[in-house]
Amino acid sequence: MGTLLGFVRRGPAPEAAGGRKDERVTARSGDLLSFLGGPERLRVLLVGGDQSARNRITDLAEGTGWPTIELAGAVALLDQVDQKNATRDVDVVVRWCSGRLSVADASFVSAVAKRGTHAVVVVGGEGDHGRQARESHRCGAAAYVPGPAPDPAALLVAITNAAQRARLVRRVVDLQSRLAMLLRNAEHARWEYDPTTEQLRVSPHWMELFGDIGDFEHATNLDAWARLVHPEDEQTFLRSIHRFLQEDGALGDLEIRMRTADGTYRWFMVRGVHEMADDGPASRVVGTLTDVTELRERMDHVRAQARLDALTGLPRREVFYERLARAIEVLRDWPDAGYVVLLIEVEGLRRFNESIGHHAGDRVLAALARRFEECVDADTMIARFAGAKFAVLVENVTDFDLGARLADRFDAVARKPVDVDGEHVYVGVSVGITTSERNYRHVDDVISDVSTAASRAKQLSRGTKKRSFSTNMRMEALTKMRLEMALREAVEREEFDLHFQPIVSLVTGRLTGFEALIRWESPTRGRISPAEFIPIAEATGLILPIGRWAIRQAAKTLRWFVDHHPAAKALGVSVNLSARQVADPDLLHGVARVLNETEIDPENLKIELTESVLMDNMDEVVALLTSLRELGVKIWVDDFGTGYSSLSYLHRFPVDGLKVDKTFVDGLGPDPTDSSVAMVRTMVSLSEQLGVDLVAEGIETQEQADFLRRLGCSAGQGYFFGRPCPADQALALLRQERGASVG
């Protein structure tokens, strides 16, 4: 037996603020859960991944309740899985990919999914996660989670939804079995047809259902039967009957709607067989007609509920894709049937999930779903797209400015607080927009463009965060993708270099240290600005190997300085760390290894972090910084005053120095601004009270340097003192100032 771990059970949706639509959405979600019931435990098979992957699934147990997840088994390779037996008693199969989704992975997912009684969750390793997600869904996967280190909440939700889908499938299979049993025991309306005379005779029970169209004594024909069939089913009925009459075999499980004696239409299952005469040819055809309306409606209800998101009651992404594909097709025949697509991403849920609990995010999403529905009419489709994203489709549009107006409405309702257990939760949204004016031919192209627009909207800082897709966005996205590929190759080849910007004493004018700044010289693209590749490195996780290299290279260069000039023993070298690097579990051990290998004075290695990095996951950051200081490394706050500016929190962090941001230095000079002077004075006073050093960044003139010195700032850096330069030029600068090398 595997390790037992808990399983989150979603609580009830928050009470609606009023209105029938709110009640209907909550009822749909509740009806589905109560209808499905569920097992006391959920069995999971892990295919692929290492021990850390097993640990991640095991960690989901903490703080969860009913039902129970049982790790039924774990195998490393695909060829170790006996698909017929190993997955027989499994509810969810988690395929953990170490790299990109391969052909073998796709075949495995498809084979397991076709069995139908359990679902597959794919955890991707590398590559284009958007494309791999679409491929996974096409193969039948219930969910896709980006890897290689998936977010625990996303993994838990994926397994939850997959289990729900598996139960839905099993429920449909059960209903189908019950239907077959009912048909074997139900009272049937019988019919007989003579191919020679084309006469149809029916039983008395037929007449009770449909009225007097004939009996065993009064013959009629197939046309009379067809007149009772629903117009939408008539052609299917006639084709099936005529094909059956011309061939041997049986007519089985033909479902049609027929008008009964009271004028209503009900669903019936038609079955028939050829009855052979003694001399060989068929003398007649006999069959039955069974009322399956109630079971058909029950199965339709289950299928409809399976197309709804249990949390919000909105249609799932797959349903949105179907509706969007139909809108694209309609536009080809009706040029005036334009459409607008919006993708809404809810921002700010992470901190509430971490502080209040994941139920907070669920409650917020459920409340926003109801608010968004109130913003549009009944014909507009809103779907739960993925995680904290909603997709909107407005059809039959001629005014394409409607998308921007809707984005404003969504933004307005999202800004209103949501009450979660007495706490007011505030979130925001970013909205991407695209329209049929771009003449789309495929759903994936629409989704790709509107996702790109939503990503651009997320970068905005003022007003409604909305962006409409434009062609240059696609070109920029392509450029970004190519740059990412080149960056991955650069990491493998170590195409980077460090440049060093001097930091000087504003009192003596002598060097006190350098700030190490990373540079990338691509063999094919030339020099690429850090402003271009650092955000991509952050988003892809490549910042981790780049950051480890930068720390190691900075320490090695400092060792080289010391070996070639004794005065370098008093110099410090600063290295910047991002939020992703702070979360690197190997950071502390990596710094310790570098210090041991280079044997530099730990106090001469300075780690710089921005205020926003300090304030994110404060307790974890404090613990990390404390451990780094125990190694002897100095901690500095970069761009001070531009982030949270939470001075009251600064005393909690073990810091050794502050850097005044260039924004405030720019306001000093011949005509200094009052705000800049006041801010710098405050920082000088604060550094004195805390007993930490202070360095001003971005000094470009003598006037700025003099003013900062008079205000009490002891050190500075900027183009006035020197631009970032390679290590050999930095050493030459040191020699020039302090004498020739003795090394």
DSSP letters of 73-123? EEESSGGG--TTTTTTT-SEEEEE-SSSPPHHHHHHHHHHHHH-SSEEEEE
Asked if residue 168 and residue 198 are part of one domain, the reply reads no
Q: Dump the DSSP string for 568-635.
A: GGG-EEEEE--HHHHT-TTHHHHHHHHHHHH---GGGEEEEEEHHHHHTTHHHHHHHHHHHHHTT-EE
Interatomic CA distance for residues 236 and 2, integer angstroms: 51
- Confirm if 500 and 730 have CB atoms less than 8 A apart: yes
For residue 444, being part of any structural domain is answered with yes
CA angle 218, 220, 225 (to 5 degrees): 130
Q: Helix, strand or coil for residue 230?
A: coil
For residue 309, being part of any structural domain is answered with no
Q: What confidence score (pLDDT) does residue 538 get?
A: 86
Asked if residue 498 and residue 445 are part of one domain, the reply reads no
pTM metric for this prediction: 0.48
For residue 311, being part of any structural domain is answered with no
Q: What's the CATH number where 93 sits?
A: 3.40.50.2300
Asked if residue 499 and residue 580 are part of one domain, the reply reads yes
Interatomic CA distance for residues 12 and 27, integer angstroms: 10
Please say which residue of 251, 266, 298 terminates a domain.
298
Place of tokens 């434009």: 470
Asked if residue 148 and residue 217 are part of one domain, the reply reads no
For residue 144, being part of any structural domain is answered with yes
DSSP label at 657? E
User: CA of 435: how far to CAs of 157, 613, 654, in Å?
Assistant: 31, 38, 52
Closest CA to 143 of 163, 173, 116, 169: 163
Residue 79, class by beta-carbon neighbours within 10 Å (0-12 exposed, 13-18 middle, 19+ buried)?
exposed
Q: Quick one: tokens of 246?
A: 């011309």
For residue 478, being part of any structural domain is answered with no
- Confirm if 187 and 291 have CB atoms less than 8 A apart: no
Q: What's the CATH number where 448 sits?
A: 3.30.70.270
For residue 132, being part of any structural domain is answered with yes
Asked if residue 280 and residue 350 are part of one domain, the reply reads no
For residue 482, being part of any structural domain is answered with no
Q: Quick one: tokens of 740?
A: 């020739």
Asked if residue 464 and residue 351 are part of one domain, the reply reads yes
Q: What's the CATH number where 556 sits?
A: 3.20.20.450
Interatomic CA distance for residues 161 and 82, integer angstroms: 24
- Confirm if 469 and 434 have CB atoms less than 8 A apart: yes
Give the DSSP H/E element, type plus range, for residue 240.
helix 231-246
Interatomic CA distance for residues 109 and 134, integer angstroms: 13
State which residues form the domain around 223.
186-298
Count structural domains, the chain: 4
Q: What confidence score (pLDDT) does residue 183 get?
A: 45
User: CA of 565: how far to CAs of 552, 618, 732, 737, 739, in Å?
Assistant: 20, 40, 10, 11, 9
Asked if residue 500 and residue 554 are part of one domain, the reply reads yes
Helices (H), 511-571: 530-540, 543-564
Q: What confidence score (pLDDT) does residue 62 get?
A: 53
Asked if residue 727 and residue 580 are part of one domain, the reply reads yes
Please say which residue of 469, 503, 528 terminates a domain.
469
Asked if residue 384 and residue 336 are part of one domain, the reply reads yes
Q: Helix, strand or coil for residue 7?
A: strand
Asked if residue 662 and residue 589 are part of one domain, the reply reads yes
Please say which residue of 469, 503, 532 terminates a domain.
469
For residue 475, being part of any structural domain is answered with no
Block means of pLDDT (10 residues each) for the chain, length 743 residues? 29 38 36 43 79 76 55 75 62 82 81 70 79 82 82 77 76 59 58 84 80 53 87 90 77 84 87 64 73 82 76 88 90 86 86 66 88 88 89 89 90 86 80 88 89 84 66 67 86 91 91 93 86 86 91 94 87 89 87 92 90 74 88 87 58 84 83 83 86 90 90 91 92 76 34
Asked if residue 437 and residue 364 are part of one domain, the reply reads yes
Residue 10, class by beta-carbon neighbours within 10 Å (0-12 exposed, 13-18 middle, 19+ buried)?
middle
Asked if residue 205 and residue 176 are part of one domain, the reply reads no
CA angle 611, 616, 618 (to 5 degrees): 95
